[in-house]
Amino acid sequence: MLIKSLVLKKRVLTTVEESATLEEALKILEDSNYRCVPILDETGTIFRGNIYKMHIYRHKSRGGDMTLPVTYLLKNATKTIPVNAPFFKVFFNIKDLPYIAVLDENNHFYGILTHASLLNMLSEAWNLNTASYVLTIISSGQKGELAAMSNIIGQRINIVGCLTLDAGKSALVRRNLFTLEEGISPQTLQETVAELESNSFRVAEIDDLHRGVILDNLPEA
């Protein structure tokens, strides 16, 4: 239920009823200072889509009728996810949207999952407050390599986060990012990097999280 814990619930949101006019919707958007808000049915339970401030402005600037219903400029009607959706599906649906509508088990509007909350959760996964370095290690993506790298690092250092990039079938190499625990001595870091590279795992980059820099050289032991 990871998604559910990140959702902004309906009761705290600014929404527009589907019976509202474009003029009324624009006032709501301007008063709330949001660039878009959800459109709901008269009962407040069914998600109809989103209305964007920029689309209303464009319509108005072209002499469009502002007494038309807000649904005239409705967007993203199918951009929804169920509240119990697997987390990875969010990334295939949210894309360029400022948020994605979340529906409950009865397909009623439950709330929204914003880009900001998603990024905040991902940033927490780095464990920046309890970590020291991030090692970017290049591998070929063959079976068992991730376990081998983890085993080499884990012999000396506790791994507090791991992320693999370039994992597509067409990618020739993988970038594996390992976030390391706090309090690592320079000698331990040097020994770990040396063992990784002696096993053909190239350490392409070492990020010093405390100083906010990429190390040109390993710290002296």
Q: Check residue 127 and give its pLDDT.
A: 66
User: What confidence category does residue 126 fall into, taking pLDDT thresholds of 50, 70 and 90?
Assistant: low
Query: Quick check: is 73 in a domain?
Result: yes
Query: Quick check: is 135 in a domain?
Result: yes
Using the 3D structure, point to which of 104, 121, 138 is the last residue of a domain. 121
**Does 187 share its domain with 153?**
yes
Q: What domain range includes position 150?
A: 126-214
**Does 15 share its domain with 101?**
yes
Q: Please list, in sequence order, all residues whose beta carbon lies within 8 angstroms of the beta carbon of residue 96, skipping any fewer than 6 positions away.
A: none
**Does 12 share its domain with 58?**
yes
Q: How many domains does the chain have?
A: 2
Give the chain's largest Cα–Cα span.
72
Provide the token pair at 64.
């469009």
**Does 46 share its domain with 143?**
no
Provide the token pair at 147.
């376990």
* Across 89-118, average pLDDT: 90
User: What is d(CA 133, CA 92) in angstroms, rounded to the nearest whole number?
Assistant: 30
pLDDT, one tens digit per residue, over 31-52 is: 999 999 999 999 999 999 999 9
User: What is d(CA 166, CA 221) in angstroms, rounded to the nearest whole number?
Assistant: 33
Q: Check residue 159 and give its pLDDT.
A: 94
**Does 30 share its domain with 133?**
no
Could you tell me the CA-to-CA distances from 36 to 15, 32, 86, 94, 217 in Å, in that order?
Answer: 9, 10, 26, 14, 47
**Does 92 share its domain with 160?**
no
**Does 68 share its domain with 105?**
yes
Containing 4, the helix (H) or strand (E) segment is helix 2-6
Report yes or no on whether pTM surpasses 0.75. Answer: no
